[in-house]
Every structure is written in C-alpha cells, then in structure tokens.
Chains A and B, each alone.
Chain A
Amino acid sequence: MTDSFKQLIDKVGLPRLTIILFLVALMVVATVNHLPTSMLLSNSLVRIGMNGVMVLAMVPSVQSGAGLNFGLSIGIIAGLIGMLVVMEFKLVGFFGLIIALLIACALGAAAGYLYGLVLNRVRGQEMMIGTYTGFSIVSGMCMFWLLAPFRNPEMIWVVGGKGLRMTLAVNDSLAQILDNFWQFEIFGVEIPVGLLLAFGLACLLLEVFFRSRLGVSMKVAGANPVFATSCGVDVDKMRVLGTVLSTALGAMGMVIYCQSFGYVQLYMAPLMMSFPAVASVLIGGASARKATVWNAVLGTVLFQTLLTIALPVTRSVIQGDISEVAKTIISNSMILYALTRKEGDGE
C-alpha cells in the first residue's frame, strides 16, 4: 500500500497530487452546499480559454532551453498595445480582433527577438533577468501610457484630456467575441466554443511546429546543447526563436484574455501576470527543462478550475474574496517548489 502510494507520488508529483486532491475536496464541498455546479463549470471553461494561450507561451521557451519565461510581461504589453490600437481606431468584430492579434504578434515577435538576444548573454540567470526586465518594461510603459498619442475620448482621462485611463472597457462588438462564437448550452453548462477552439488551434499549431524539422532542432538544442552544436544546430539561434515564439504567444494570449475579460487594464496591472502562467505550466508537470503542450493544457485546466471553484466555495464558508490570495499562495509556492528541485537546473 505505502509502496504503491509512493509510486503514485513519484509519477504524478507531490504538488500536482495535492492540487488534484484539493480540487476534489472543493468540488465535494460545492455539491454538498448546493452551489450552482453548471455555472461553476461554465466559468471554469471561460477562464481556461482566457488564460490558456499565455500558459502555452511557456512551452517554446522551455523547449528551446531558455527556461521558464518570467519576462512574459513583455509579450503581455505587446498584446495590450494591439488591443489599444484597435480600440483607438474603433475597429469592430472579428476584423478588429484579427488586427489586434496581428499587431500583438508582430510587436511580440520583435520584442521577443531583442529579449532573446539579451537572454543569450546571461545564461543561467534567465529567470532573474527575465523577471526584472519584465518589471522594468511594465513600469517604463506606465510613462508611455500617460504620454501615448491616443485621442479616443473614451480611452483617455476626462480631466486634462491626456493619458490613458487605468481600466478601459472593450467595446461591445469586440468584448467576448470569441466566447460567444458558436456558443451552446448543454445541461445548463455554457460552452464557449470559439474561445476553446482558439486555444485548441494554438495548441495544435505549436504541436505541429514541434514535429517539424525546425521544431525538432529546437527541442534538441534545448535538451542537449553540446550534442545539438555537433549536429550543426545553432543553439543560440534556437533559443532566440523559442523566446520569439513565447513572447508572440504571450502577446496574442493577452488579446484573447482582454476580449474575454471585457476590460483592458493598464499601468501596474500586468506586473505580476507572468507568475500565474509560469505556475500553471509547472502544475501541469513541467520543469524548467522540460515542458510540453500537454503540460500547459493540464496545468491551465487544473489551476483555473481550482481558482474558479475556490471563490464561491470559500465565500459560502467565510466572508471576503479569497481567490486572489489563493492565487498568490498557490502560484508562488508552486514556482518555489520547482526552484528547489534538482531538475530545476538540468539533470
């Protein structure tokens, strides 16, 4: 009995097991307290779709050997700019969304390229440098938001007529556009088909990429740089490519997040957004050296479902919104746990 239990822990991993057990416990409490299960499930699905692409962004950067992308906020900023441009010119519907995604992708790729070049010079310290590059850019962009030449009166401060507001509402034709696409209801659970399709498509494309020649060389470069060099793979280039992909995915992920959330939050709001994404992929079973698309999907599903269910369940027991605190504790402890493991730094 104890042996098989130990085997289970080894196979699933202690943190993942804890989170699954916690999730099951919450579900039991939810059913016992007669909470609206269908609504909880609908919300979970939306949150999975909202956050999925940003978590997926971790995969290429880990695979290429550049480690977990703690500087995801760089991509997030690119996504915000894409969203803002579309809102400034009042582009609507799917056309607006696609333009936002394109701008986000282009800016993200460009920023990711520069960021990748930096990361190549600071091997072994990517996580720390990434975090502080992200922090610097988010705080530096605060000045940009104040000075940026946006004219749309719905976006800038009423008093003074200059500078973007803290929180901008996405206009109706763009908000939840993916969520509502082909949406249907089954047993009272609303399925945001468009949103999940977008996430699924991103996963599929990434998986296809990893099976391509370029993708395989990237994986090799990440797994064994010495061997890769001897095979004629340019390791530095692969790391840059991984970072570019990661940042571009992060940017597009942010656009998807914003359209589903319905608001664009500026200034210091994106500061800590990369940590839950890092934590999600770790919860899915990834390490700083190994991450697959499956890890990202599983991690997102587990983490987001947990957070969605935790809120109403705890609210039925105690007052106040505990979900932000739970998010902080779970995501940071998860990263901390991964850092103290030996695998965190290669085999």
Chain B
Amino acid sequence: MKERIRQNAVPVLFLCMCILGLLISGQNLRYVTQELISRLARNWFLVLSLIIPVTAGLGLNFAIVLGAMAGQVGLIVATHYKLPGLAGLITAVVLSIPIAVVLGISAGHVLNKARGREMITSMMLGFAANGIYQLVFLFMVGTVFPVKNPQIMLDNGVGLRGTIELKYCKYALDDLIRMKLFGIHIPLAPIIVVILLCLGIRWLYQTKLGQELRAVGQDMGVASVAGINVDRTRITAMVMSTVLAAIGQVIFLQNMGTMNTFNSHEQIGTVAIASLLVGGATVSRATVGQALIGTLLFQLLFIISPAAGQRLMGNAQIGEYFRVFIGYGIIGTALLIHSWERATSQRSASRQTRGKTLEGTGNN
C-alpha cells in the first residue's frame, strides 16, 4: 500500500494542483472540457511515442524532436503543393516516415556510442538537428532548392516564414468524424488513432521484439548473453519512437492549424516528456496508462494556469511563465529524484555486500 502511494505521488500531487487551480481560476467548466478534449486529442499520440525507448532502457527520448521535424517537413511539402484535406495529411505522413526512419537510425547509432549518457545526448541531438533544420529552411530553401511560393516563404524569396498557415489540411483528421456531446465537439478520429496506437504498443510487448526490448532495457549484459543484438534492438526502439513522433506531430499540427516553423518541434520535446512524467512515469519505467493520465493532468494545468495567475497575482503573464516553469521543473525534479534514488540504492547495496563480506570473515 505504501509502495503504491509512493508510486502515484506525482499524479496525485498534480491532480490536487489542478483542482486547486480550477477553483482559483473559476473558469467555465464547459470551456475547460472543450479545450482539454481537443488538447488531449492532439497531444496523446506524441506522448505515447516516448514509451518504447524508456522500455528499451534509453531513458526519456528527447530526440523525438527529430521525429517532429520530419513530420513538419512532410507538412511543409504538402502545404507547398496545396494538397487538400486528408490527401494532404496522408502525403505528409508518407513523406515524413522515410525521413524519420533515417533520423531514427542515425540517432540510434549516436546513442549507442554514448551509453550511460543517452538522455543528455538525445537532447543535444535535438538541439544540433534544430540548427541544421534552421539552416535548411531559413537559408537553403529558395537558394539551393529552387522553390517559389510567396505563401509560405519570406518576401525576399529565401527561407520559410516563421509561421505557416496550414489552411489546406487544417482539421483534416479532426473533422473526419464529427460528433457533438452535450454541446462539446469531440474529435473522434484522432482519439480512435490514439486507441489503435495504445493497442499496438500492448501488442508489441507480447511479440518477440517486445520481449527483446524489455530484456535490453533491464540489463544489456544479460540480453547480449541471451543472444539478443543489443545495438540493433536499441536502434529499432529509436526508429519506432521517431516515426511515431513524426506522425504525432502531423496530428498535432493539423489541429493547431498554424505551424511555428522554427519553434513547434522544440516545444514538443519538453511538453511531451513533462506530460509523461506527470503521469508518474520514471526514466526507466513508463506505461501507456501513465502517458494518457499524465497528458490529461499536464494539459489541464496548462489551460487553467494563465487564468489562475490572473486571479492570484493580477497578471496573466505570470501564469504563462508558470507553465513553462512547471514543464522544465517537473523534468528536472523527476530526473533528480531518479538519480538520487539510484545513488542511495547503490550505496545501500554496496553497504550490504560489504556487511556480508565482513560477516563472512567473522565466521572464518
């Protein structure tokens, strides 16, 4: 029982914060529900893309940013050719998958070279890739790649605009199945996609590959003795995560309707990881349920914090900064607790073995 409370401490704490914030902000419940449902529909897929690397022992995959970039490349192309609705969306996904596969394989190779420092490396990978993304879409489009499209490009003909309106495939998935419940619009199609993904992840863990992923995550040495190709399995995990993130970003942006060309993908990494951690996941353990609940709590906090900040401090900007702070703070705290616990358990383990040896010598 105690163990159970300890495990669920983070989600419970956040639930309390959400309820408190809701009371303080005094916002219309229908507005909050509507906002929450559309946010969940667009964020769940991205958060779920983080689970597989955690299982494979790669920790929190900050490199989903790479996948998000691939998704954006697909959307940029689809928007450039003015592909409407679902056709545009599918084209974007189809185009982004090969890019995501290549990026995932490279990321996997890099992470295999940086064992024990996977998280910081995946984060730096995201930052470095972002630099290259900027180079391509700010300076090479229009010069190296002969593209002319004043709708998405800057007026001087070089580089993309900072925000691109995705008017051709906006809501393409959301509006696929229209449904209204108690006056609340529910985007059923993205939710069905998320359910399919959840089932897919469940199914994956029952296959041979899933077992291998778990084995590698638990102990690379043992897994390799058991005849599993550890490097390959880790790369597979990265590829799956990156591809899922690419699809997730396309789903995310079709709901947003506008793309911050040079920011959208950066924010995704922090938001998705913080969401997963709020659900009670750790660096070494994450489940589908934690991802779903974590996203719910985190997004709820996101919705209410500006209004709560306005009521509490008389300044909505405070709430804005508060949610940024919560995003970084929750990741920082989770990492801190995890490595703190690991250090303590290592110390107590070494003390135990030392005690045992001492006992042994005593008996002799």
Contact = CB atoms under 8 A, between A and B. Distances in A.
Interface stretch (A43-51, A140-148, A213-221): A140-148
Given A122-B335, A132-B331, A139-B327, 12 more contacts: A129-B336, A131-B123, A133-B332, A136-B325, A136-B328, A140-B325, A142-B325, A143-B322, A325-B134, A329-B135, A332-B131, A336-B124
Interface in B324-344: 324-325, 327-329, 331-332, 335-336, 339-340, 343
B135 A325 contact: yes
Interface in A116-144: 118, 121-125, 127-129, 131-133, 135-136, 138-140, 142-143
Interface string A291-334: 00000000000000000000000000011101001001100110
Given A142-B321, A146-B318, A128 B329 contact: no
> What are the 10 closest A-B residue pairs judged by CB atoms, nearest first?
A329-B131, A132-B332, A328-B131, A332-B128, A142-B321, A135-B328, A340-B113, A122-B339, A125-B339, A332-B127
Given A132-B331, A136-B329, A329-B128, A147 B339 contact: no
A48 B47 CA distance: 42
A138 B331 CA distance: 14
A322 B125 contact: no
B318 A147 contact: yes
Interface of B: 110, 113-114, 116-117, 119-121, 123-125, 127-128, 130-132, 134-135, 138-139, 143, 156, 158-159, 313, 315, 317-318, 321-322, 324-325, 327-329, 331-332, 335-336, 339-340, 343
Interface in A139-185: 139-140, 142-143, 146-147, 162-163
Interface of A: 70, 118, 121-125, 127-129, 131-133, 135-136, 138-140, 142-143, 146-147, 162-163, 267-268, 275, 318-320, 322, 325, 328-329, 332-333, 335-336, 339-340, 344-345
Main DSSP-derived SS at the A contact region: helix
Contacts of B340: 121-122
B329 A124 contact: no
Contacts of A344: 114, 117
A132 B139 CA distance: 31
A328 B332 CA distance: 23
A322 B136 CA distance: 11
A335 B131 CA distance: 13
Contact of A140 (B135, B329, B336): B329
A313 B306 CA distance: 45
A128 B120 contact: yes
A124 B335 CA distance: 12
16 contacts: A122-B336, A127-B120, A128-B117, A129-B335, A132-B328, A135-B328, A135-B331, A136-B328, A136-B329, A142-B325, A318-B139, A320-B138, A329-B131, A339-B120, A344-B117, A345-B116
